[in-house]
Structure 1
Amino acid sequence: MEALTRDFFLFLSKNNFLNKLAQNSGGNFAAGKIIGGTNFQSSIRFIRELNKQGLSVTVDHLGEFVDSKEVANERTEECIQTIEMIKKENLDSQVSLKMTSLGLDIDRDLVVQNMTRILDTAEKNQVMVTIDMEDVPRCQATLDLFKQFKEKYHYVSTVLQAYLYRTEADLADVSDYNPFLRLVKGAYKESPEHAYPEKKDVDENYKKLIAQNLLNGNYTAIASHDDQIIEFTKEFAKKNNIPNDQFEFQMLYGMRNKTQLELVKQGYKMRVYVPYGLDWYGYFMRRLAERPANIAFVFKGMVKK
């Protein structure tokens, strides 16, 4: 049943008609519930509200698989302006982005040029930029770019996905770079050739990756709504004398709000992933596909006043 639910929402995420409909009419409906707003400026008030509650933030301008150099350059400019505004407004926020939004599918030199401009701005303003992981065909290119940028910049991090067989080796490969890593289960539809098909195997690999990265002494962001994963992390950290300032929990905006605040009260750093922009529909469907329980979390968030 879980596999059917996942496939259903992944299928919906690729529906162009529904995506266009959402862009034209759904932005205001989703703002303040599952996205910050249709642009960064309109998201600031929601970020301030989260910060006041002791919650840190990472923002993401939604949109990927850009096939136009002009659009990739526009996304770059927008990201630079966002970083500068985060600093100016004194927000407790980082930035997340995808390499395909900056031109990865167009030209490698283009994405390097755009990302260099972004990271120059990030270093100047001391704002962390996380390179989100995408699907399998783009995984190696993303990691290669991360390692290239990490040799020059401090304020850059990336993401590893627990459902891929390759990720344990990838973790070992990047460990020498003293990385800030966000560890996730994974949201794209991948074949059994590349990914664990069973949830229990994904969960076990996820725990293994969390443990290894913490033992490596690297800063670890555990991005999960799963109570089992959260409790595992807490217990592992206590057992191995890993300080709370070596890791953080991350959750999606509009989901598990009560749990987020409880973690803050318990003394853990909690970061909320706040997407913004018109291309929110595909993101929303993939989040529902990740875990059936997210459906209930989203419904509660949507109907709250």
Structure 2
Amino acid sequence: MDALSRDFFLFLSKNRGLNYMARRWGKSVASGTIIGGIDFESSIPHIKRLNEKGIQVTVDHLGEFVTDIQVAKERTQECITTIQTIAAEKLDTQVSVKLTSLGLDIDINLVRDHMRDILREATKHEVLVTIDMENESRCQATLDLFTELKQEFKLVGTVIQAYLFRSENDLNDLNEHQPFIRLVKGAYKEEASVAHTEKQDISENFKKLIQKQLETGIYTAVATHDDSMIQYTKQLAEELNIPKDQFEFQMLYGMRAKTQEDLKAEGYNVRIYMPYGDDWYGYFMRRLAEKPSNISFALKGLTKK
């Protein structure tokens, strides 16, 4: 049933007609509930409310798979402007980016130049930028570029997905660079030749990666809404005497707000992944595919006053 639900939501995520309708008519419903807003400015009040509770944020301008150079340039400038606004508003906020939104599918040199422009601005204002991971076919290019940029810039991190077979080896290769890593289960539909497809196998590999990364002593983000995975991380940290300031829990904006506040009250670092922009539909469907039970939390967010 979980596999069928996952495939169903991934199918919906690629439906152009539904995506068009969501962008045209649904953004007013999504804004402030599952996304911060249709632009960064409208997201700022939501970020400030979270910061007042001691909860940190990472923001992401929605949109991916860009094939137009001008659009990639516009997305790059949007990210730079966001970093400048974060500094001006003194927000406790990082930035997440998808390389395909900056031109990865157009030209590797283009996206390299765009990332350097972004990271120069991020360095100036001391804002960490996390390179999101996309589907497996783009994984190696993403990690290669991350590794290259990490030689030049300190404030850059990336993401490792637990459902990919390669992820443990990727962590081994990356850890010599002392990177900031966000660990996630993964939300794209992959072939069985490259990824675990059973829920239990993904969860077990996620646990293995969490332990492996926490034992390095490198600051790590564990991105999950799964109560059992949260509990596992807490117990593991206690058993290994890993201090609470060595890792953080990350969750999606608009989901599990009570859990977020409870974790913060217990002394854990909590960061909320807050996307913004009108291209929210595909993102939302993939989150439901990742964990179909998220739909109950999402619907509560969409219907609350």
TM-score between the two structures when normalised by the length of structure 1: 0.99
Corresponding residue number in structure 2 for 1:166:
166
Corresponding residue number in structure 1 for 2:29:
29
Aligned identity (percent) is 60
Q: Deviations over 1:85-108 (max 9, x none)?
A: 001000010000100011000001
Q: Shift of the alpha carbon at 1:302?
A: 1.2
Task: Give the secondary-structure state (helix, strand or coil) at the position aligned to 1:42.
Answer: helix
Q: Shift of the alpha carbon at 1:24?
A: 0.9
Corresponding residue number in structure 2 for 1:60:
60
Matched, 1:248 2:251: no
Partners in 2 of 1:100 and 1:241 — Cα distance? 39
**Could you list the runs of 4 or more consecutive aligned residues of structure 1 that deviate by over 4 angstroms after TM superposition?**
none
Q: Shift of the alpha carbon at 1:219?
A: 1.0
Q: Shift of the alpha carbon at 1:54?
A: 1.4
Matched, 1:71 2:64: no
Corresponding residue number in structure 2 for 1:190:
190
Partners in 1 of 2:170 and 2:218 — Cα distance? 14
Corresponding residue number in structure 2 for 1:40:
40
Q: Shift of the alpha carbon at 1:155?
A: 0.6
What code does the residue aligned with 2:233 have? T
Unaligned runs of 5+ residues in structure 1 are: none
Partners in 2 of 1:13 and 1:141 — Cα distance? 24
What code does the residue aligned with 1:174 have? L
Corresponding residue number in structure 1 for 2:175:
175
Partners in 2 of 1:179 and 1:171 — Cα distance? 9
Q: Shift of the alpha carbon at 1:26?
A: 1.1
Q: How many residues align?
A: 305
Partners in 2 of 1:229 and 1:292 — Cα distance? 16
Q: Shift of the alpha carbon at 1:239?
A: 0.8
Q: Deviations over 1:114-165 (max 9, x none)?
A: 0000000000000000000000110000000000010111110000000000
Partners in 1 of 2:272 and 2:304 — Cα distance? 18
Corresponding residue number in structure 2 for 1:5:
5
What code does the residue aligned with 1:31 have? S
RMSD of aligned C-alpha atoms?
Answer: 0.6
Task: Give the secondary-structure state (helix, strand or coil) at the position aligned to 2:143.
Answer: helix
What code does the residue aligned with 1:99 have? L
Task: Give the secondary-structure state (helix, strand or coil) at the position aligned to 2:179.
Answer: coil
Corresponding residue number in structure 2 for 1:81:
81
Partners in 2 of 1:258 and 1:302 — Cα distance? 16
Q: Shift of the alpha carbon at 1:301?
A: 1.1
Partners in 1 of 2:82 and 2:18 — Cα distance? 28
Corresponding residue number in structure 2 for 1:108:
108
Q: Shift of the alpha carbon at 1:11?
A: 0.3
Corresponding residue number in structure 1 for 2:230:
230
Corresponding residue number in structure 2 for 1:209:
209
Matched, 1:124 2:124: yes
Task: Give the secondary-structure state (helix, strand or coil) at the position aligned to 1:106.
Answer: coil
Partners in 2 of 1:108 and 1:209 — Cα distance? 29
TM-score between the two structures when normalised by the length of structure 2: 0.99
Q: Shift of the alpha carbon at 1:304?
A: 1.3
Task: Give the secondary-structure state (helix, strand or coil) at the position aligned to 2:80.
Answer: helix
Corresponding residue number in structure 2 for 1:93:
93
What code does the residue aligned with 1:69 have? I
What code does the residue aligned with 1:282 have? G
Task: Give the secondary-structure state (helix, strand or coil) at the position aligned to 2:152.
Answer: coil
What code does the residue aligned with 1:41 have? E
Q: Shift of the alpha carbon at 1:25?
A: 1.1
Partners in 1 of 2:94 and 2:26 — Cα distance? 26
Partners in 1 of 2:239 and 2:133 — Cα distance? 30
What code does the residue aligned with 1:125 have? H
Q: Shift of the alpha carbon at 1:292?
A: 1.5
